[in-house]
């Protein structure tokens, strides 16, 4: 029996909207999977053409929120094992090999994989700590959670780390990063419950420097020169905006 035949069947699942610039690389990296499911939110660029060219099963559905949209895509998979990627991410060669090996005899129901982030004009230093995210799992054991904006899969069962790196082409310019921070922080305001203004004020003061320190020193972004500083500083700005916008909304409602 071949190694490929011995591996558990795997579905790659990707949600898209106008991702022609990055989708080619993403889908090429999951060509080894037994099927590729692409759920598109009615793109107007070449996204769907690219997906079909890579043999993906493409469905179209109006966007209904980050978590619900990804769950809808997961539900379309034919196989129990799912590899969930965003359209601006791609699996590394080492990541593919690790997943192939692991799924011959799975030790868990879900796996956290290390994601390496593009930092404006460079990839991070090898000693920069990656972000570990649950992306490989049995869909019979897991679902997307209801967290607004930053929705992620959660499983009932055992989850472990698997050294199967994948890469994220984030915002290529500082302008794009700030725009995303602004949109995401506004999205969170719509879902957050009201808090006392005094508590929000305290968080506005304390959380931004903590967010900066966690990324810049804790995850060693200082090894990446100014690109690492930009990333840590915009993360701190995001932490500020989340609570500043909540504070503003609370004061307006009062």
Q: What is the pLDDT of residues 138-166, one digit of tens each?
A: 999 999 998 877 889 999 999 999 999 99
pLDDT at 198: 75
Provide the pLDDT for residue 1: 37
* Domains of the chain, first to last: 3-168 (3.90.550.10), 174-253 (no CATH)
DSSP assignment string, 149-206? SS--EEESS-EEE----EEE---SSHHHHHHHHHHHHHHHHHHSPP--HHHHHHHHHH
Which of helix, strand or coil describes residue 9? coil
Q: What is the pLDDT of residue 172?
A: 86
Q: What is the pLDDT of residue 6?
A: 86
CA atoms in the 13 A half-sphere facing the CB of 123: 8
* Element containing residue 26 per DSSP (H, E): helix 20-29
pTM assigned to the model: 0.88
What is the per-residue pLDDT for 195?
63
Sites in the chain below the pLDDT cut of 70: 1-5, 190-195, 254
Q: Which pLDDT belongs to residue 3? A: 42
Instruction: Give me the pLDDT at residue 191, please.
Output: 64
């Amino acid at each position: 029996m071949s190694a490929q035949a011995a591996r558990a069947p795997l579905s790659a699942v990707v949600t898209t909207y106008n991702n022609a610039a990055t989708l080619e690389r993403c889908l090429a990296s999951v060509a080894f999977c037994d099927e590729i499911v692409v759920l598109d939110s009615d793109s107007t660029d070449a996204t769907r053409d690219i997906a079909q060219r890579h043999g993906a099963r493409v469905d179209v559905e109006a966007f209904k929120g980050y978590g619900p949209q990804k769950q809808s895509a997961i539900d379309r998979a034919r196989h129990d094992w799912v590899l969930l990627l965003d359209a601006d991410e791609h699996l590394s060669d080492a990541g593919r090999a690790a997943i192939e090996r692991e799924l011959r005899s799975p030790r868990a129901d879900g796996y956290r994989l290390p994601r390496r982030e593009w930092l404006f004009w460079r990839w991070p230093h090898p000693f920069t700590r990656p972000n570990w995210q649950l992306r490989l799992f049995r869909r019979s054991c897991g679902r997307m959670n209801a967290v607004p904006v930053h929705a992620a899969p959660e499983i009932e069962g055992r989850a472990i780390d698997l050294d199967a790196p994948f890469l994220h082409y984030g915002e290529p310019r500082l302008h794009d990063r700030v725009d995303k921070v602004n949109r995401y922080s506004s999205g969170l305001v719509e879902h957050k419950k009201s808090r006392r203004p005094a508590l929000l004020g305290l968080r506005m003061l304390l959380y931004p420097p903590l967010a900066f320190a966690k990324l810049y020193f804790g995850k060693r972004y200082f090894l990446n020169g100014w690109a690492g500083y930009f990333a840590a500083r915009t993360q701190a700005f995001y932490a500020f905006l989340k609570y500043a916008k909540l504070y503003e909304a609370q004061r307006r409602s009062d």
